[in-house]
Amino acid sequence: MSTKGKVTGIVSNLVTVAVDGPVAENELCYINLGGTQLLAEVIKVTGDKVSVQVFESTRGLKNGDSVEFLGKMLEATLGPGLLSGIYDGLQNNLTTMTGVFLKRGEYTDPLDRTALWEFTPIAQPGDKVVAADWLGEVKEGWLPHKIMVPFAFQGEFTVKEIVPAGSYTVDQTIAVLTDKDGEDVPVTMTQKWPVKVAIKGFKEKPRPRKIMETGVRVIDTFNPIAEGGTGFIPGPFGCGKTVLQHAIAKQGDADVIVMAACGERANEVVEIFTEFPELVDPHTGRKLMERTTIICNTSNMPVAAREASVYTAMTICEYYRAMGLKCLLLADSTSRWAQALREMSNRMEELPGQDAFPVDLSAIISNFYARAGMVVLNNGQTGAVTFIGTVSPAGGNLKEPVTESTKKAARCFYALEQNRADQKRYPAVNPIDSYSKYLEYPEIQEFLQEKIDKQWVEKVLRAKNLVRRGREMADQINILGDDGVPMSYHEAFWKSELIDFAFLQQDAFDAVDALCPLERQEYILDLILGICDKQFEFDNFEQCRSFFKELINTLRQMNYSEFRSPQFNQYEQQLRNQLS
Amino acid sequence: MATKAFQRTYTQLQAITKATVTLNARGVSNDELATVNGRLAQVVKTKGDSVTLQVFSGTEGVPTNAEVSFHGAPPTLRVSEQLSGRFFNAYGRPIDGGPEVEGEEREVGGPSVNPFKRRQPSQLIPTGIAGIDLNNTLVSGQKIPFFADPDQPYNQVMADVALRADVDKIILGGMGLSNDDYLFFRHAFESAGALDKIVSFVNTTEEPPVERLLIPDMALAAAEYFAVDKNEKVLVLLTDMTLYADALSIVSNRMDQIPSKDSMPGSLYSDLAKIYEKAVQLPDGGSITIIAVTTLNDGDITHAIPDNTGYITEGQLFLRADPDSGKVIVDPFRSLSRLKQLVQGKKTREDHSQVMNAGVRLYADAQNAKTKLENGFDLSDYDLRCLDYAKEYATRILSIDVNITIEQMLDTAWEIFAKYFSPAETGIRQALVDKYWKA
ipTM of the complex: 0.87
Contact A8 B307 (CB under 8 A): no
Chain-centre distance for alpha carbon A350: 31
In chain A, which residues have pLDDT < 70? 1
Interchain CB distance below 8 Å, A9 and B47: yes
Coil, helix or strand for A402?
A: helix
Distance from CA of B186 to the nearest CA of A (A): 32
Q: Are B307 and A542 an interchain contact pair (Cβ–Cβ within 8 Å)? A: no
Separation between Cα atoms, residue A508 and residue A217, nearest integer Å: 11
Query: Which residues have a Cβ under 8 Å from the Cβ of A316 and sit 6 or more positions away?
Result: A76, A78, A82, A258, A293, A295
User: Which of A259, A263, A290, A256 has the alpha carbon at shortest distance from A272?
Assistant: A259
Please report residues of A whose CB lies closer than 8 A to that of B364.
422-424
What is the distance in angstroms between the Cα of A217 and the nearest Cα belonging to chain B?
A: 20
- A134 CA: distance to closest CA in chain B (Å): 34
The segments of chain B whose pLDDT lies below 70 read: 1-7
pLDDT tens figures, B164-199: 988 999 999 999 999 999 999 999 999 998 889 999
pLDDT given at position A479: 86
Q: Does A303 touch chain B (CB under 8 A)?
A: yes
Taking phi over 0 as left and psi of -120 to 50 as alpha, with beta for the rest, A330 belongs to: beta
- Secondary-structure class of domain A217-430 per CATH: alpha beta
Minimum-distance CB partner of A267 among B265, B314, B429: B314
What is the CB-side half-sphere exposure of residue A153 using CA atoms within 13 A?
23
| For A541, nearest residue in chain B (alpha carbons) | B380
Buried-exposed string A60-78: b where 16+ CB fall within 10 A, e elsewhere: bbbbebebebeeebbbbbb
* Domain locations along chain A: 4-73, 106-191, 217-430, 456-579
Q: Which of B114, B300, B357, B362 to mutate to test the interface with A (most CBs of A within 10 A)?
A: B114
Angstroms from B153 CA to nearest CA on chain A: 24
- Maximum Cα–Cα distance across chain B: 83
Cβ count within 10 A of residue A564: 12
CATH class of residue range A106-191: mainly beta
Question: Which pLDDT value is given to residue B1?
Answer: 44
Distance CA A571, CA A52 (A): 64
Q: A423, B381: Cβ pair inside 8 Å?
A: no
The answer, for A102 touching chain B at a CB cutoff of 8 Å, is: yes
Give contacts of B47 with chain A, Cβ < 8 Å: 8-9, 11, 16
Specify whether the CB–CB gap between A555 and A498 falls below 8 A. yes
| pLDDT of res. A580 | 85
Q: What's the distance, CA B414 to chain centroid? A: 32
Chains A & B: contacts with CB separation below 8 Å: 212
What are the distances in angstroms from CA A150 to CA A20, A54, A114, A379, A418?
Answer: 33, 29, 21, 16, 47
Residues of B in contact with A17 (CB under 8 A): none
CB A460 within 8 A of CB A439: yes
Return the closest-CA partner of residue B110 out of B139, B79, B140. Answer: B79
The pLDDT assigned to B7 comes to: 66
Q: With an 8 Å Cβ cutoff, is A557 touching chain B?
A: yes
* Residue contact B28–A342, C-beta within 8 A: no
Answer whether A315 touches B (CB < 8 Å).
no
Closest CA to B15 of B265, B256, B210: B256
- Flag whether residue B24 sits within 8 Å of chain A, measured between CB atoms: no
Residues B21, B22, B28: CA angle, nearest 5 degrees? 110
Phi (first) and psi of residue B95, to 5 degrees: -120, 10
**Phi, psi dihedral angles at A65 (to 5 degrees):** -65, 150
Chain A hits for B429, CB-CB cut-off 8 Å, are 557, 560
Radius of gyration of the CA atoms of chain A, in A: 27
As a whole number of Å, the CA-based R_g of chain B is 25
CATH 1.10.1140.10 fits A456-579, yes or no: yes
State the best of A269, A300, A547 to mutate against chain B, taking most chain B CBs within 10 Å: A300
Chain B residues 331-360 with CB within 8 Å of chain A: 333-334, 336, 338-339, 341, 353, 357, 360
Q: Does A167 touch chain B (CB under 8 A)?
A: no
Q: DSSP labels for B398-409?
A: IBTT----HHHH
Interfacial B residues in 227-286 facing A (CB < 8 Å):
228, 257-261, 265-267, 269-270, 273-274, 277-278, 280-283
pLDDT at B3: 46
User: Which residue of chain A is at minimal alpha-carbon distance from B256?
Assistant: A349
CATH architecture of A4-73: Beta Barrel (2.40)
Q: Under a CB-based contact definition with an 8 Å cutoff, are residues A214 and A220 in contact?
A: yes
Residue of B nearest to A474 (CA): B368
B384 touches chain A (CB under 8 A): no
Asked whether the domain spanning A456-579 has the same topology as the one spanning A4-73, the reply is no
- From chain A residues 505-534, the ones with a CB under 8 A of any chain B CB are 509
Distances (CA, A) of B366 to A483, A496, B8, B317: 19, 20, 69, 21
Can you list the pairs that A17-21 forms with residues at least 24 positions away whose Cβ atoms lie under 8 Å? A17/A49, A17/A50, A17/A51, A17/A52, A17/A67, A18/A48, A18/A49, A18/A50, A19/A48, A19/A49, A19/A50, A19/A67, A19/A69, A20/A48, A21/A69
Pseudo-torsion of CA A442, A447, A450, A454, nearest 10°? -40
What pLDDT does residue A467 have? 97
Buried b (16+ CB within 10 A) or exposed e, B60-73: eebeeebebbbbbe
Contact B109, B74 (CB under 8 A): yes
3-class SS of residue B47:
strand
- φ, ψ of residue B180 in degrees (nearest 5): -60, -45
CB atoms A549 and B424 under 8 Å: yes
Can you give the pLDDT at residue A282?
86
Q: Does B297 touch chain A (CB under 8 A)?
A: no
Closest-CA distance of chain B to residue A264, Å: 7
Nearest-Cα distance to chain B for A11, in Å, is: 5
**Min distance A471 CA to chain B CA atoms (Å):** 15
Chain B, residues 99-118, CB within 8 A of chain A, namely 107, 109-118
3-state secondary structure B215-253: HHHHHHHHHHHHHHHCCCEEEEEEECHHHHHHHHHHHHH
Q: A16 — contact with chain B (CB < 8 Å)?
A: yes
* Facing residue for B380 by CB, picked from A11, A271, A542: A542
H or E stretch at B172 = strand B169-177
Peptide bond into B240 cis (omega under 30): yes
Nearest CA in chain B to A95: B116
Of B48, B113, B269, the CB nearest to A101: B113
